[in-house]
Amino acid sequence: MNIAIVGPGAMGCLFAAFLSKKEEVIILDKNEQRAKFINQNGIKIEGVSGNWQAKLRATTDPGEIANAELIIICVKSYDTKDAVKAIKNVISQDALVLTLQNGVGNIEIISEIAGSDKVIGGVTNQGATLLGDGHIRHAGKGETVIGRIDGKIPVQLRDIREAFNKAGLETRISRDIKGLLWSKLIINVGINALTAITRLKNGKLIDFDGTRQILRSAVTEAVKIAKRKKIKLIYDDPLAKVEAVCEATSGNISSMLQDVLKKKKTEIDFINNVIVREGESLGIPIPINSTLVHLVKTIESSYALRIENI
């Protein structure tokens, strides 16, 4: 299978490296210098899967991915629209586009540009941290779940599952990918913004009464929205699940905290702000998530003004 991965961030590099063991993989990057570096040096992996190197191609030319049967979108959610617009004219008639991004809303954005019949949603519990260009730490192994919003399972979806599993990426298909996306969203709602604001690792959020109470309130608001929208979550007790994830990933630095530490834009609009917008449209007050959104957006806007040391 010819596979193109758009965006060589932590997850893009992880999936590119694994899939290149068995498939033809090319990375599409908007950064020419970084693409050149990956072409010359490949991708370096350390962590739970050992220390190893993967050699593969990278390019800044969308035309070079025209033969891709599968295009995996791994850019930050706020870059989804621009990334898909850039490749729209080279997506072949039979190609499928898979999003493995954080938050909710990416499927809709990709569908508007590429057509809903081409889009696959995905949720992964693989963990990766970007250490440098083409250099990642594989922080944790986990299942990847893919599926179509309409619940159909075409042959191509089974082929993708087979390719991922052969490459060592444990993958299954779900008929309810929306429920899975919202289930993961609720975990991110509880963890990401709070870690970005407090600069605490995941596990520390439940060690302090203050952050634990805010986490519980943010998750409770999100669950209320999911129930009103009749979205079936995969956890019987979402709050207990979020706290269990905090414990299981206690040493992790969340992706949103990584963004804040690097003084970059965050994905807050695709995580906590999803709950705020849905609350507004449904007439449900969402005070905790609204406050978290305002605080993270203030942090983003004030990087140049922050006091680091006294």
Burial pattern 75-102, b for ≥16 Cβ within 10 A else e, equals bbbebbeebbeebeebbeeebbbbbbbb
Q: Is 263 a catalytic residue?
A: no
Which of 206, 192, 207, 191 shows the shortest CA–CA distance to 266? 192
- Whole-angstrom CA distances from 54 to 28, 66, 169, 236 are 16, 22, 15, 40
C-alpha span between 187 and 125 (Å, rounded): 12
Q: One of 22, 184, 229, 297 is an active-site residue; which one? A: 184
Which of 43, 241, 275, 267 shows the shortest CA–CA distance to 125? 241
Phi-psi region of 275 (alpha: psi -120 to 50; beta: other; left: phi over 0): alpha
Among all residues, which ones are annotated catalytic?
184
